[in-house]
Amino acid sequence: MIIKNRYSISFYTLGCRVNQYETRAITEEFIAAGFDIRKFGEACDISIINTCAVTGESERKSAQYIRRASKSSQSVMVIGCFSEYKPEEVGKLPNVYYVGSAKIKSSLVSKAMDILDNKHKLIALSNSNIHEYDNLNIGYYPDSKIRSYLKIEDGCNGKCSYCIIPRLRGEIRLRAFDDIIEEAKRIADIGCKEIVITGIEVSAHNQLPDIIRAINKINGIERIRLGSLDPRIFDDNFLDAIQCEKFMPHLHISLQSACNRILNLMKRPYTKAVAAGNLDKTLTHIPDILLSVDVISSFPTETMSELNETIEFLIYYPISHIHAFPFSKRAGTVAAEMIELITPHEKKLRNDYLICEGNKIRNAILERQIGKTLPILVECSNKNIYVGYTTNYLEAEFESDTDLRYQTVNVKITGFRNEKLIGIIK
C-alpha cells in the first residue's frame, strides 16, 4: 500500500529486545508505504507506542508515554503487552484510536490509514490460540551500522508462577530457518556489523545452533550475540555452536534465583545444581566468557539468607551485570495469590543491596581487564571521545583525533570509571 497523501508518524518502544525488533519492522512497513518518519515528541499525524507489562513499573511507563504521544500526535496506536493485558484501560487514554495485540503486530499500515482518513476507533486483540509466526521483517532500509536484533521466535510455553508474558504473547511460534538466514543476509547488506539473535524464549528454537553457524558464514557480519537464555540450554551442540569465530564470549542467563526453594515457588524448570553444572561446563569450553543474569529479589516469602544464597552463587561466576528487579505482582499469575510479607520499603532496600553486590562483582571483572589490549567495536563519539564494546560486552571509551566510528580498533585498557573501561589506542 502506497499512500497518496504523505502522512507523518513517530514511534516509541518500551521493554524487551523483541519489542525493539518489532518496532523496527513496523517502521520499515510505514517507510515502504510512504510515511514521513518523525522523532518521538515531534508533531506528527499519528504515533505508535509499543508497550510492556512485565512489571507494574513497565505499565506505568507505558501509560506515561501514551499520554506524551497524545500531546504531539492527533492519533495514537498502542500495541504490545500493556494493551493486550489491560485493553480497556489503554483505550481510555487520550487520543488512543487503536488498541492492538502483543501477538500480531504486522499489517498496521492499513489500520493507521483507516484512523487517519476516517477516524475509526478499533480494539483489535488477537485470539490467544495463535499458532503461526507473525511474519515481520527488517533489513530493507538502512538503520544502525552497528547492531541489529534478529527475531527467531515468539511466545513462551513456560509456567513460571510470577510471569504474565506467556498469556500475553501466546504459545511458542518458531520462525522458519530460511527466513531467518535471508534476513541476516539483508542486515549484512545494509552495512550492519553485529546481530543479536532474540525472541521471547530464544532457547526454544530447535535450530538455534544451526542458526548461529549459518550466520557465522555471512560476509559482513562481524559479531553474533544472543538474547536471554534458559539455563538448561547448554548441551554439547549448543556449546559447539557458540565457539564459532564470530560468536562473542558473552551470554545473558535468565536465572531469577539460585535458591532451590525460591526456584520451586517460581516454578522454574531447573535447580541450582543444574544451573551451576551448565555454567561450569560453559566456562570449561570458553574460559574468557562473561555472563549477565536476570534476578528477581523479594519473591514472596524470600528471606535475606535466601537472597544471600543467590548472591554467593553469583560471586563464584564471571557476572559482568546483574539485571536486578524486585518482585512485581501480576494479576492472573499464581504468584499474585501468594502472601507477601516483604514491605515495599524492604523490597527497595533488598534490590539496592543486590545491585550493590552486583557492582562489586562487575568492578572486580573490570579491574582484571587493566593491561589487556582488547578489540572495541566503536559505536559513537562525543567530540574526540569514542565509545564501544569489547567482545565480551564491556563498555569502553578512549580518545582519538581520527573518526573511528563503526570500526573495530585495538585498545589497551588503562583503568575504569563509572562502570566503563578506559583505554588508549594501540
C-alpha 36/C-alpha 56 separation (Å) is: 33
Phi, psi of 137 (to 5 degrees): -140, 150
Q: What is the DSSP string of 187-231?
A: HHHTT--EEEEEETTGGG-TTHHHHHHHHHTSTT--EEEE--B-T
Q: List the one residue out of 201, 213, 270 whose CA is nearest residue 239.
A: 213
What pLDDT, on the 0 to 100 scale, is given for residue 127? 52
Query: Domain with 172 in it: what CATH number?
Result: 3.80.30.20
> What pLDDT, on a 0 to 100 scale, did the predictor assign at position 142?
82
Q: Are 210 and 316 within one domain?
A: yes
Mark whether 348 and 395 lie in a shared domain: no
Helix (H) or strand (E) holding 409: strand 408-417
Instruction: Using alpha carbons, select from 165, 173, 103, 170 the residue that is nearest to residue 133.
Output: 173
- Which residues have CB under 8 Å from 386's CB, separation 6+? 378, 380, 397, 398, 399, 400, 404, 405
Residue 142 covered by a domain: no
Q: Dihedral through CA 260, CA 266, CA 267, CA 273, nearest 10?
A: -20
From residue 307, alpha-carbon distances to 162, 262, 311 in Å are 17, 9, 6
Q: What is the pLDDT of residue 118?
A: 87
- Please check whether residue 136 lies inside any domain of the structure: no
CATH of the domain at 400: 2.40.50
Give the chain's domain count.
3
Tell me which of 344, 369, 394 is where a domain ends. Answer: 369
**pLDDT at 295 (0 to 100):** 98
Q: What pLDDT does 235 receive?
A: 96
Residue 239 CB coordination number (10 Å): 17
CA dihedral 83, 88, 94, 95 (to 10 degrees): 70
pTM score over 0.85: yes
Position 48 in a domain: yes
Domain boundary residue, one of 68, 89, 123: 123
Q: Is 140 contained in some domain? A: no
**Total count of residues recorded for the chain:** 426
Whether 138 is in a domain gets the answer no
303 with 193, same domain? Answer: yes
Res 323: pLDDT: 97
Within this chain, do residues 363 and 380 fall inside the same structural domain, yes or no? Answer: no
Domain CATH number, residue 49: 3.40.50.2300
Tell me: do 30 and 52 sit in the same domain: yes
The answer to the question of residue 349 being in a domain is yes
Average pLDDT per block of 10 residues along the chain, 426 residues long: 75 97 96 96 97 96 97 95 94 94 89 89 66 89 90 96 95 97 97 97 97 98 97 97 98 98 98 98 97 98 98 97 96 95 96 98 98 96 94 97 94 96 95
Q: What is the pLDDT of residue 131?
A: 76
In terms of residue numbers, what domain contains 112? 8-123
Domain end call among 123, 157, 178 = 123
In this structure, are strands 420-425 and 73-80 parallel, antiparallel, or unpaired?
unpaired
Indicate whether 239 and 336 sit together in one domain: yes
Are residues 17 and 49 located together in one domain of the fold?
A: yes
- Tell me the C-alpha distance between 192 and 20, whole Å: 16
Check whether residue 409 and residue 332 sit in a common domain. no
Residues 111, 224 within the same domain: no
Predicted confidence at residue 40, as pLDDT, reads 97
Does residue 88 share a domain with residue 177? no
* Residues 173 and 288 occupy one common structural domain: yes
Same-domain status, 35 and 108 = yes
User: Does some domain include residue 224?
Assistant: yes
Q: CB count, 10 Å around CB of 93?
A: 18
